[in-house]
Amino acid sequence: MAMNTQLSDLLNAFNEHIREVATEVLAAQLTPQHITPDVSTLEADDIRARLYVIKAKEFVSIPEAALLLNCSNSHLRNLITKAREGEAEHPIPHRDLDGVTVFNREQLLAWVELDKRVKAGKLTAVRRR
């Protein structure tokens, strides 16, 4: 009988230890570090929200156009300079509002769709399909 009591006590202690370990593992899995999205998800959500706002506008700024086209602000400024100086065969469509450059979003996206090819030293543009 003493052996049965000892075995029963050992099984109860073992079961209690298993419950404690299972509770710790479950708590570790449910901590905020596992629930919080990672940086790339947060960045993607931020970009998605900014693009949503940009797509609702008729005119966009240089930084907004850069995000929309996935290029740098300086690249857009270079394209604007070439357009203003008449150095671009297909100038980027923009407007100067007393020193503030903006883009008509639809015109900008249509300009992007032009296939700017060099043929025999001459740049030609055709609409992509």
Q: Are residues 73 and 116 in the same domain?
A: yes
Range(s) of the domain holding residue 96: 60-127
Residue 108: exposure state from Cβ atoms within 10 A (0-12, 13-18, ≥19): buried
What are the residue ranges of helices labelled H in the chain? 2-29, 32-35, 39-55, 62-69, 73-84, 105-112
Say if 48 falls within a structural domain. Answer: no
CA pair distance 117, 90, nearest whole angstrom: 11
Q: Are residues 64 and 103 in the same domain?
A: yes
What string of pLDDT tens digits covers the 129 residues of the chain?
676 788 788 888 888 888 888 888 777 766 655 555 666 888 888 999 999 999 999 999 999 999 999 999 999 999 999 999 999 989 999 999 999 999 999 999 999 998 776 554 555 555 555
Q: Are residues 68 and 107 in the same domain?
A: yes
Say if 24 falls within a structural domain. Answer: yes
Q: Are residues 65 and 121 in the same domain?
A: yes
Q: Are residues 27 and 84 in the same domain?
A: no
Q: Are residues 65 and 106 in the same domain?
A: yes
Which residue shows structure tokens 């850069």? 66
pTM, rounded to two decimals: 0.61
Q: Are residues 72 and 15 in the same domain?
A: no
